[in-house]
Amino acid sequence: MDLGIAGKVALVTAASSGLGRAIAVALAAEGVRVAVTGRDEERLQETVEACREHGAHATGLVWDLADHGRAHEIATMVAAELGPVEILVNNTGGPPPTTALGQEPKLWEDMYASMVLPVIELTDAVIGGMRERGWGRIITSTSSGPIAPIPNLGVSNTLRASLHSWSKTIAGEVAADGVTANVIVPGRIATPRVESLDRARAEREETPLSEVRRQGRASIPAGRYGEPEEYGAVAAFLASRQAAYVTGSVIRVDGGQIPGGAPPRPAVPAFGRPLASGRGSLVQAEGRAQFGADQGAVLVEGHHLDGTAARPADELVVPFRAWHRDGVRSFQILGDLDRRPVGEHGDPMLGVGVGGVDLKRTSGVQDHDVGLFGALVGGHLGLS
């Protein structure tokens, strides 16, 4: 399919390796004139050569994104050599693994300066010309963290989430001028960044790297890590003429891995029918629930057959509505199930061999002995 962007000018940041390089090469293959930036001059030149192999005019500019004050200068340099930027791909490196709590303010400031400000300033530098010409594409590459926060990537989750809101906001501001703004989100793509995160996790958890990778693949419905070229192809489509009506969107390239969106809405089951599917079996839903409002959610925590408690992550949240009328207490399952994720990559899993369950409301002012919680679900809460 001809994407209709041959001869357009693109600027791709942080493109000396990984996803940025893949996007730059994908655009070059469509005949786009490509400028790339990066900190490592040697690797940056390798990206330029990879683009030129497709017959594209390509150039590289050494730029550390933390020096965000150079954004307008970079845009001007690209315009002087290739022409005004018509396709901007905002790609940034990621911060080191960190928790969200207990970080020094300077770390937050430094990461904001290198991950957020250059995106905003570079977009401001080129979007005026896009609007005047009536055509432009702003593509911002982030992370799955804003959709499903990744453990031990607290700074990344937080700052990249701000770019999702920013992109959605500017999409509305420029849509009438023929300019689109979208976010593209990778799952686990085989890049140096993912390799380093896998190694960091293996070291942190004292687990063989091969096991970390196996768990990573197991968490992906497609059963494998993605290829950078697959990610680049999606970015190229978002830059295309055919994608003119796609704006304000967050596009996942994840092999089906990233959780989110509307949860399943099963009907209230008949007696003994399973309420959801998963690993293990939850039966005899007896216990206590706390509720003091008209509606809430029961937190189901499993206990293994040997009597030991399941892991804290082995949870299922069952939303319900409770009310009193004429002295009669009534319950209704609302239908949305929230299976709490297990592990860094959101692998939905309940402990195998789970027996009885303890039902507890996450908040509430009264503690009522519900007895057989089967009153809520027709006898059994089943996970088969």
231 and 317 share one domain: no
Predicted confidence at residue 281, as pLDDT, reads 31
Reported as a single tens digit per residue, the pLDDT across 2-16 is 999 999 999 999 999
Domain that includes residue 154, residue range: 9-253
Q: Which residues pair with 35 in a beta bridge?
A: 11, 59
Q: Kindly report which listed range (127-131, 149-153, 234-238, 263-267) carries the lowest average pLDDT score.
A: 263-267
- Residue that has been written with the tokens 């919680």 in this structure: 373
Check pLDDT > 60 for residue 376. no
pLDDT in tens, 317-358: 445 454 445 555 454 545 444 443 333 333 332 222 223 333
CA distance 47 to 38: 10
CA 55, distance to chain mean position in Å, is: 34
Residues 39 and 174 both lie in one domain: yes
| 213 plus 164 within the same structural domain | yes
Q: Do 293 and 236 have their domain in common?
A: no
The per-residue pLDDT for 328 is 52
What total number of domains does the chain contain?
2
What is the reported pTM? Answer: 0.68
Please state, in angstroms and as integers, the Cα–Cα distance from residue 209 to each residue in 32, 190, 335, following that order.
39, 14, 39
Strand, helix or coil for residue 39: coil
Tally the residues of the chain. Answer: 384
Residue 261, in any domain of the structure:
no
Chain segment 97-156, per-residue pLDDT in tens = 899 999 999 999 999 999 999 999 999 999 999 999 999 999 999 999 999 898 889 999
In a domain, 260, yes or no: no
Shared domain check, 334 and 221? no
- Whether the per-residue pLDDT at 298 is higher than 70: the answer is no
Q: Which amino acid is at 195?
A: E
**Does residue 273 belong to any structural domain of this protein?**
no
β-strand partners of 360: 299
Report the share of the chain in percent with pLDDT over 70. 67
Phi-psi label, residue 377: left if phi above 0, alpha if psi -120 to 50, beta otherwise: alpha
Q: What pLDDT shows up at residue 332?
A: 52
My answer on whether 244 and 290 are in the same domain is no
In a domain, 295, yes or no: yes
> Between 277 and 101, where is the model more confident?
101
Query: Please, what is the end-to-end C-alpha distance for the chain in angstroms?
Result: 44
Banded pLDDT at 287 (limits 50, 70, 90): very low
* CATH assignment of the domain containing 116: 3.40.50.720
Confidence check: pLDDT of 168 > 50: yes
Query: In this structure, are 78 and 171 located in the same domain?
Result: yes
| Predicted local distance difference test score (pLDDT) of residue 271 | 28
Spatial contact of 85 and 9, defined as CB atoms under 8 Å apart? yes
299 plus 234 within the same structural domain: no
Question: CA-to-CA distance for 194 and 225, rounded, in angstroms?
Answer: 10
Q: Token pair of 30, please?
A: 């469509």
The answer to whether position 263 is within a domain reads no
Decide: residue 274, CB within 10 A, 0-12 exposed, 13-18 middle, 19+ buried. middle
pLDDT at 305 over 60: no
Within-domain flag for 124: yes
In a domain, 258, yes or no: no
Q: What pLDDT does 343 receive?
A: 36
* Residues whose CB is less than 8 angstroms from the CB of residue 9 and which lie 6 or more positions away in sequence, other chains included: 32, 33, 35, 78, 79, 82, 83, 84, 85, 86, 87
CB atoms near residue 141 (< 10 Å): 25
Residues 315 and 226 both lie in one domain = no
Mean pLDDT of 270-284: 32
Give the pLDDT confidence score for residue 296 in this predicted structure: 42
Q: What is the DSSP letter of 331?
A: E
- Can you say whether residue 64 is alpha, beta or left, with left for phi > 0 and alpha for psi between -120 and 50 degrees? beta
337 found inside a domain: yes
Q: What is the pLDDT of residue 260?
A: 67
Q: Could you tell me if 211 and 338 lie in one domain?
A: no
Separation CA 180–CA 248 (nearest Å): 7
Same domain flag for 226 and 328 = no
**Cβ-proximal residues to 37 (8 Å cutoff; 6+ apart), any chain:** 11, 12, 13, 14, 15, 44, 60, 61, 62, 63, 65, 74
CA 19 to chain centre: 15
DSSP one-letter string for 344-365:
TTTEE---TTEEEEEEEESS-S
> Which of 85, 90, 204, 107 has its CA nearest to residue 152?
204
* Domain boundary residue, one of 236, 253, 270: 253
Q: Are residues 300 and 249 in the same domain?
A: no
